[in-house]
Structure 1
Amino acid sequence: MSKFMNEDFLLQTKTAQKLYHDYAEKMPIYDFHNHLSAKEIYEDIKFDNITQVWLGGDHYKWRAMRTFGIDEGYITGEQPEYEKFKKWAEVVPYLIGNPLFHWTHLELQRYFGIKEILSPKTCESIWEQCNAKLSTPEFSVRNLLRKMNVKVLCTTDDPKDSLEYHKKLKDDFEVKVLPSFRPDNAIRVYKPAFASYVKDLGQVVGYELTSVSHLVKALIERLHYFDEIGSKVSDHGIDVFRFSPCTDEEADIIFKKGLNQETITEDEISKYEGYILTQLGKAYHDLGWVMQIHIGAIRNNSTRMFEKLGPDVGFDSINDSNFAKDLSAFLNALDYQGKLPKTVLYNLNPRDNELLATMIGNFQDGSQAGKMQFGSGWWFLDQKSGMENQMEALSQLGLISKFIGMLTDSRSFLSFPRHEYFRRILCNKLAGLIENGEYPDDLELVGKIVEDICFNNAERYFNIKL
C-alpha cells in the first residue's frame, strides 16, 4: 500500500518516478489561462486568513459544500470566515475520489508545509498555521507566485478594460503578467446586456458604435492596445459553437436588432457569432496571436440562484451540443484565406475528446509545430481521468509530444499545484508506455518530451519573451 500523497504520489512505477523527479518537477510554470487579478498582484496583497485565499470565489469548493448540505450562508454568505473554514473542514474527509481532496492537500503541503489531513479535528490547528504564515511578507501574492516558480500568467480581460495594472507590472515584477483578450460580451448579441455593453465599449474607444463595422473597428483597436502591452493570446468562452456564412449587410442587421433588444433567431445568432469570430480570427493571425476557444458549458442552470448570487458561483455544467460541422466550417473559412491563427481548442464534454483531437489535424499546415492544439482537460475535466482521457486521445490521434500542457483556469493564488498534479499524471502515462514495451526505454528522450510539455512547448508557442 502506498503512503498517502508521498513524494511518489500518482507515480506508479520507477520509470514514472524518474520522469517526474528528474525532468518534470524542476520545470517552471507557464499558465496561459487563469482568472487572477492583476491589481492584487501589483499591490502585492497579503490575505488575512486561509478562507479569503482558499474559499473566496472557488465554485469547485462551493458545489461540494452545497452537495454536503452546508447552508449558503457559510459558502457565499456573511458567516464569519473561520466558521466557513470549519464547514469546509467538515466536507474534506468526505471528498473521497474527488480531485478537491488532492488539490486541498497538495496546496497545504506545497505552500504551508502541512502534511496533516484537514478535518474537524485538525481544523483549528491548520487554520492557525496557515494564518500565521499568510501574515508574513513571504506569503504575499507575489511571493506565492515565486514559490511555485511561475514565469508567465495570462489573465482574462474584457476589451474595454483599462489594463492599468498590467501596464504597471510590466517593469515592476519578474513574472510576466499579461492580459488575454476576452470579447464574449461583444459576441453574445442575444443577451439583454448586449446594448449596454456596446455603449460602454463605444465610450472607451471614443465614438458611438452604431453599426457592426464600428464594433469590429473598436474591437480591433482594443486588440492592438492589448498587443502593445504584451498580450499574445485571446480567449473565447463559447457555450454552443455556431457558425454560418454571413455578409457584412446581414451582420449589421443582426447587430442593430441586438442594440434594439429585438428577438434574434438561432440562425441569426449563428451568422453573427461566426462573423465576429472570423473578423477577430483574421486580426489574431495578422498579429501573430493565439486564439483559445473553450466550448461546451451550460451556464447559470438555476435561475433562482442566478437571480440571488449572479454568475460564476457554481451552477454551471456540461453541455451536449453538436458542433463539429460548424467548428470545421469556421476554421476552414479562416484557413482558406490563409488567415487561420494558432488555435487552442478546449472541450468540456468528454465525448468530444476524439472530435477535437482529429479536428486539429485537419488544419495543421507545417508552419509551426503544433499550430493547432487540443487543449488540456478543462473545468470539469481537469481531474485525473479527464486529463488521462484527453492525453490518450491526443497521443492516439495527434502528437502529444507537441502539446502545450496545463493551465489553472483559476481565481485562486493557491491553485498552482494543479500543474504538479497534471505533471505527475503525464509522467505516469508516458512511463506506462515504456513499462509495457510500447516505447523504447529512452529516458533522456522521453524526459525531454516531458520538459517540453511542461513548459518549453508553451514558451515557443506563445512567443512571449521572458
Structure 2
Amino acid sequence: MPDDTAWTLHPDRALPADPTLRPIAHEIFAAARDLPIVSMHGHIDVAALAADSPFPDPAQLLVVPDHYLTRMLVSQGATLPELGVGPDSPDKETDPRAIWRRFCAGWKHFRGTPTRYWLEHELVEIFGVTRRPSAETADLIYDEVAERLADPAFRPRALLDRFGIEVIATTDPAWSDLSAHAKLAIEVTGPGGAPRVLPTFRPDPLLHLDRPRWREDVSRLAAASGLDVTDYATYLEALRERRAAFRAAGALATDHGHLLADTTPLPDDVARALVGKALAGEAVTAAEATAFSAHMLFQMAAMSAQDGLVMQLHPGVLRDHDGAVAERFGPDKGYDIPVVTEYAQALRPVLEAFGHHEVFRMIAFTVDEDAFSRELAPLAGVYPALRLGAPWWFLDAPDAMRRFREAVTETAGFSNMSGFVDDTRAFCSIPARHDLARRVDAGYLARLVAEHRLDLDEAVETAADLAYHLPKAAYASR
C-alpha cells in the first residue's frame, strides 16, 4: 500500500473469490451482517463494564490482554514483560507507547492469521485508523486511537450499543460475589428491562483435587456460599448454592475447561473419601484427581438437569505448557496447546443419563479437528440434549471455520449447532469475530446454493439462524 493511500478494508474480505459464488454470498451475508450480536461465551472483565471507566490506553486495550497477539510476538523474539504482561518487575515495560511500537513493528508477523483480520477490523472500522501499522506509523496510530478512547462514545457501555451487542456473558469464578453483575442488571438493560450482561458459572479450580490452591479455593467457595465445607456432602451443597446464586443473577450457563472430556462417575463412597483426603491436606494421586474431575463433570451435568443451566464443555487443551512461564506470569498467557481428545466414550455416561432429558443441555466444543466429523457431529446429530459448539481458539480462523462447516453439517445439520460464540478477552474484537463468522458462513451457504443443494431463501434464513437465532435458542433457559 503506497504511503499516500488511506488504509481501507475490502468490502468482500473473507467472501468466496469464485465469481459464481461471490454474488450469492453477498446476498446471504446481507441478511446476517447487521443482526444483533449474542455473545454467550467470553471472558470480558465484568468489573470494567460495571465501572464504565475509559479504557486506559491503546496498548492496555488491544495488546496486553490479547494472548492471541502476544503469543505471536513472543514467537518472534519478544518477551512477555516487554509487552507489558505479568507482575511488576525491573524488566516489565510500563510505557504503553513503547508496547504499542513493538506491536506495530511486528505487524507483518500476523499476515494470514485471524488475529490480523480482527485487528484490521478494530483499527479501521472502530477507531477510524487510516494508516497500516508499522514501525514508522506506530506513534501516529497510537495518537489516533488514544484520542478516540478519550471520547465518552468509546467507553465500555457505549461500545456495547455501538457493537450491536444484545446480550453478553462473562465467565466468573464460583466464589464471585456477583456485585458487578447486580449493578449492571440495574444500569445496563435491554427490552423489558432484561439484563444484557450475564454471569457464567466457572467452577474448574474446585473440581481438581491436585490443584495447589484447592483448599484455599474451597475456603472461598465456603465463604461465598455461607456454608461450612467439611466433607463431600457440604462441598456439593456449596456448589449447588453458588449455582443458584448465579442463576438468580441471570446466569444461563456453566463453563468447564477440563483437559479430558471424561464424565465417568465414581461410587459415592470413593468420592467422599477423596474429598476427605484433600480437605485434610493429604496427597491425592494424579490418577485419583483425574478420576474425581471426571466424576464432578457428571455431577455438574446432574445439577444442570435440575437447575437448567446450560453446560458448556471445552476440553482438550494442555494448559500452561511452559511451567516456568505459568509460575511467573500466571495462566492464559498463550502457552495453552491443543491435544487429541476423545468424546464418544468420554461423554457416554452423561449422554446415557441425560441425553434425552427435557431440562439438560450440553454444548460441546473442541480444538481437535479430527473429532468434528468422527465423534461430535454424530453425537449432536442424535442426542437432543447435545449441541455442537462453534470453532474456537485455534480453529476460529477463516479456513478452519469453513472446514468445520464442511465436517459437521452433513451429519448434524445446522439446527444442532450453538451458533457462533467468540470466546474473547479482547472486548473490541467481538464485532470483528462475529463479522468474520458471518462472512465465512455466507460463503459456505453460497456454495450449497450454487450446487443446488439449498435454495437461496433457505440459505438466507440459515445465515440468520447461525448468527442470531441459534445462539439464543442454545442458551435459552429450559
- So what's the TM-score if we normalise by structure 1? 0.92
1:193-208 → structure 2 map (5 Å cutoff): 193-208=213-228
- For structure 1, which segment, 319-328 or 454-463, has the greater mean C-alpha deviation from structure 2 after superposition? 319-328
Of 262-271 and 445-454, more deviation after overlay is shown by 262-271
Are the counterparts in 1 of residues 64 and 70 from structure 2 also a CA contact under 8 Å?
A: no
Q: 2:402 aligns with which of 383, 388, 393?
A: 388
Q: Cα distance, 1:402 vs. partner?
A: 4.6
Q: More deviation in 395-404 or 53-62?
A: 395-404
| Secondary structure of the corresponding residue to residue 312 of structure 2 | strand
Q: Percent identity?
A: 26
The aligned runs of 1:95-106 (5 Å cut-off) are: 95-106=110-121
Determine the structure 2 residue equivalent to 1:47. Answer: 55
Matched, 1:448 2:461: yes
**Matched residues in 2 for 1:361 and 1:447: separation?**
22
1:402–1:453 CA contact under 8 A, matched in 2: no
Shift of 1:191: 1.3
Please give the alpha-carbon distance, in whole angstroms, between the structure 2 residues aligned to 1:385 and 1:271.
36
Aligned ranges 1:12-51 → 2 under 5 Å: 12=16, 13-21=22-30, 23-51=31-59
Q: What CA deviation, in whole Å up to 9, does each residue of 1:93-118 have, x standing for no partner? A: 23221111111101112211224321
CA distance in 1, matches of 2:446, 2:161: 30
Aligned to 1:84: 99
Aligned to 1:345: 364
Shift of residue 306 of structure 1? 1.4
Cα deviations by residue, 1:283-324 (Å, 9 ceiling, x for unpaired): 212222211001111011111211211111111111224443
How many Å separate the matches in 2 of 1:203 and 1:289?
23
User: Unpaired segments of 5 or more residues in structure 1?
Assistant: 365-370
One of 134, 152, 159 as aligned partner of 1:119: 134
Deviation at residue 396 of structure 1 after TM alignment: 1.7
AA at the equivalent of 1:150: I
Q: Could you say what secondary structure the match of 2:261 adopts?
A: coil
Gaps of 5+ in 2: 1-6, 17-21, 86-91, 191-195
Match of 2:391 in 1: 377
Change in Cα spacing, 1:48 to 1:198, as seen in structure 2 (3 Å) is closer
Please give the alpha-carbon distance, in whole angstroms, between the structure 2 residues aligned to 1:87 and 1:305: 20
Q: Which moved more, 1:142-151 or 1:257-266?
A: 257-266
| 1:56 to 2:56 alignment | no
Q: String of CA shifts for 1:330-369, please: whole Å, max 9, x gaps.
A: 3223347x477111000122222122112223422xxxxx
2:476 and 2:138 map into 1 onto residues whose CA distance is 44
Letter in 2 for 1:422: A
**Which residue of structure 1 aligns with residue 89 of structure 2?**
none
Amino acid at match of 2:338: I
Give the SS at the match of 2:311: strand
Q: Is the 8 A contact 1:286 1:339 kept in 2?
A: no
Question: What amino acid maps onto 1:450 in structure 2?
Answer: A
Determine helix, strand or coil for the equivalent of 1:238.
Answer: coil
**C-alpha offsets along residues 254-299 of structure 1, whole Å, 9 cap, x if unaligned?**
1122223434345533442233222221221222221100111101
The 5 A counterparts of 1:170-319 are 170-174=185-189, 176-319=196-339
Rounded Cα–Cα distance in structure 2 between residues aligned with 1:116 and 1:14: 30
- 1:424 counterpart letter in structure 2: R
CA contact (8 A) 2:263 2:298 kept: no
Letter in 2 for 1:182: R
Could you tell me how far apart the structure 1 residues matched to 2:320 and 2:224 are?
29
More displaced 10-residue stretch of structure 1: 412-421 or 454-463 = 454-463
Give the AA of the match of 1:183: P
Quote the residue 2:425 is aligned against. 411
| Count of residues in Structure 1 that have an aligned counterpart in Structure 2 | 453
Cα deviation code 1:430-462 (max 9, x no counterpart): 101112x2424x322211111111011222332
Spell out the pairing of 1:328-367 with structure 2 (5 A cutoff). Answer: 328-335=348-355, 338=357, 341-354=360-373, 355-364=375-384
| Partner secondary structure for residue 365 of structure 2 | strand
Change (3 A) 1:84 1:393: same
* Counterpart position of 1:8: 12
Q: Specify whether residues 382 and 133 from structure 1 end up closer, same or farther in structure 2 by C-alpha distance, changes over 3 A only.
A: same
Cα 1:267–1:306 change in 2 (3 A) is: closer
> Are the counterparts in 1 of residues 14 and 398 from structure 2 also a CA contact under 8 Å?
no
Q: 1:169 aligns with which of 181, 184, 196?
A: 184
Partners of 2:433 and 2:136 lie apart in 1 by 26
- Whether contact under 8 Å (1:376, 1:407) holds in the other structure is yes
